[in-house]
Structure 1
Amino acid sequence: RLETPRHSEDYCLRPREHFRIPNNPGIGQQTWHPPPTIYRVPSKDRRTVGNRKQAVEQYLRHFVSYQQDDWAPLLATAEFAYNNNNHTSTGVSPFKANYGFNPSYSGIPSAGQCVPAVVEQLRQLAEVQDELKHCLEAAQEAMKSQFDRGVRKTPEWNSGDKVWLDGRNISTTRPSRKLEHRWLGPFPISSRISTSAYKLTLPLSMQGVHPVFHVSVLRKHKPNEIAHRQRRTPEPVTVNGGDEWEVDGILDSRRRGRTTQYLVSWRGFGPAENSWEPEANLKNSRDLLAEFNSKFPEAAARHQR
């Protein structure tokens, strides 16, 4: 139960203490006009604190002296102005949300002017808080709907499925990153690590790359976009009693100790099957080696270890 005399004293005899109204005669009633829209609380929580600070700074900017040495006494006044203004998400001011009404800054009334209508005041407060609850729920639902529009649903893939890998964070030996391929692969999925991470089977040319990737850098590979089209894997050619695959081109070279390795693209295979091969494995591709070395004589020196 609420004691009427005590609440009459709180609401009528001590409003300045109750609402923390500063006793500053230098600032008049015009201070409490509705502030500009900058006082509105933004919809995103991470920006709320910054904009509150910005609102208080703008308020103080209108009243501080040229030397800006008298702003501290104005902080309580700025706080009152901010809390007495309607906020965007709730539609009401913090004062009204807490007490059921917006206090005025028209001076302290005498005790004879006060009407201790505590019951009516509490009824209004309950109505305001109930309305405030619905406003916040509607605002939160609107924020969630806006956020969900830009969120991609987490895809689900199985082992053996092929995916493209975003190549922006993958270092290669190519001279210019700006002209590098946007997507690498496709690579088969080796296993599912979690709901948002997959382990890929990477080629030997990417030995130094950690094979686990987040789904945000992966994209589903869609093979056979033309109905009934089948891609045939080339058969090896028998040379001197051994199986060999035809070299399509030499892409790059690097030094590993005293050995020179060449990045080879194989005819009939995709970029995912490119591999680094020592010069000894390319005895039957002397013409391609000579052509590459004449065009890029410094390539191996750029990637020496």
Structure 2
Amino acid sequence: MLEEYLRHFVNARQKNWVQLLDVAQFCFNAQTSSSTWRSPFKIVSGRQPVLPHLVDHPFVGKNSQALNFTKEWKQTNDIARAYLEKASKRMKKWADKKRQPLEFPAGDQVLIKLRPEQVRVALPTWMKIYPVIHVSNLKPYHQDTEDLQRNIVTRPIIDLSQKEDKDVEEILAERVRRGRRPARRIHEYLVKWKNLPVEETSWERVEDLEAWKQKIEDFKFRQLTGTSTI
């Protein structure tokens, strides 16, 4: 509300708001609240300050500077009070728009937050709750017109984890190469695949050859005995 009030209070170019903050703060703290019927000054100190515009006396005296200050203070304070009241009414108008209660004609479908309050609704028999619910826990129900069946996949799911149907014919060589990390070593075997040309020979990791452990054992035996396949 203070932001809205300052927009009305400052000049057209909005360059003098710094000089008006003390007056705005004083006027706001002296304003009586509609909810507590007391001003912030009254609540904190127990006393209501006497404002210049409340003192009934003519602007006379020997000190012209003091008289001018009193006149300017009264004028500024009157303007501040007027704009503060205007801002308060505008904020109340905005707040009242959101405070209007919802109204539901008989027969409307609603969605319910399951907390018993104060509006009677027709509930399914399987819901074991009291059918009196507060209107703040209801909102209008709009039936979903989207065809949910169109998103159901009817094609068979392809198992991408299945490997190609290949069989190891022979292990030809062995190597250990360095991985991306300096301390990592990758153990691989050169595999000749059955029923495939020599060009399809490939290096495979040892963990991918779990099903052909016997082929690996045969390769190691040949390495120890110095024999080879013909």
Structure with the larger strand share: 1
- Superposition TM-score, scaled by structure 1 size: 0.25
- Superposition TM-score, scaled by structure 2 size: 0.32
